Structure 1
Amino acid sequence: MVSKINQVTFDARDGYTLSKFWAEVTGYTEHPKYPNSPEDEENFIGPGGEHPGLLFINVPEGKEIKNRLHLDISPDTTRDEEVDRLLALGATVYEDHRKPDGTGWVTMRDPEGNEFCVERSDAERAAAEAAKGEAS
């Protein structure tokens, strides 16, 4: 037997607002039968509104230490363009691990301080592999 991941849950001061941020990041949507609301204790978004998705639960305490679990995201655009887009949405750069050869990632924080990483896109990885093949 195995278990499936139904959702990844975030404790949040304002789960509704955080769900809106992550919906912009991921393109996930709320479930059409269960729309999110600022008054709700729980706010869910998922691919096509379905599971697995992200659940944001309101809690009274704020985030105080580094996440033990975080999301790694791979953009449709370039990593650097995605970092700029996420900064405009309210994320902040926590640690920049980009290297001169184009590898690496950027650790960012969402508006409530939860860490996540922005990796290179699949296209950037493929281009780097193709360049290695041409150099051989």
Structure 2
Amino acid sequence: MASLVRHLTFDCSDAHRQGTFWAEVLGGKLADDDFPGDPEALVTADGITMLFVTVPDAKTVKNRAHVDLQPTDRTRDEEVERVVGLGATIVGDHRKPNGRGWVTLTDLEGNEFCVECSAAEREAIISSGN
């Protein structure tokens, strides 16, 4: 039998702060026993569980892996605006005039993630032949 991915784990300097941010981004929730100052924070959301672990080392290089988000009930651009409002920072804009592309952002501690087109946007692009 193969293994299952239980959760994605991220090292960080403030597990509760990172967990709170990602719970808001994903529409998920922190575990009931996670509080400010705790060394770990567990976020559960539809389709993913993320664990944030406080470590003494700061992030120093680009992530080798990252999360790609696809909005479910808004457009890519609306989602970018929403997550920027939560504290994310845009670090790369790869949107194209034909509607394709993505935006690269960083979370509160500099971890990269991308926001892609929604399924509806993707279907509209394909239907238009772009």
**TM-score interval, normalised by the smaller of the two chains:** over 0.9
- Highest Rg: 1 or 2? 1
Q: Is structure 2 residue 85 aligned with structure 1 residue 88?
A: yes
- Alignment partner of 1:10: what SS? strand
Runs (4+) off by over 2 Å: none
What corresponds to 1:41 in structure 2?
39
Q: Equivalent residue of 2:83, what SS?
A: helix
The reply to whether residue 119 of structure 1 matches residue 100 of structure 2 is no
Question: Structure 1 or 2: larger helix share?
Answer: 1
SS at match of 1:46: strand
Instruction: State the TM-score, normalizing by the size of structure 2.
Output: 0.93
Return closer, same or farther for 1:52/1:80 CA change in 2, 3 Å cut-off. Answer: closer
Output the CA distance in 1 between the equivalents of 2:49 and 2:42: 7
Aligned to 1:78, which of 75, 100, 103? 75
Deviations 1:24-81 (A, max 9, x none): 100111234xx21113111001127xx8400000011111000011000001210111
Q: Check the 8 A contact 2:70/2:116 in 1, yes or no.
A: yes
* Structure that is richer in strand per residue: 2
Q: CA RMSD in A?
A: 1.6
TM-score (norm 1): 0.89
Unaligned runs of 5+ in 1: none
For these two proteins, the number of residue pairs brought into alignment is 129
Unaligned runs of 5+ in 2: none
Question: What is the alpha-carbon distance in structure 1 between the residues aligned to residue 3 and residue 78 of structure 2?
Answer: 36
Moved more, 58-67 or 23-32: 23-32
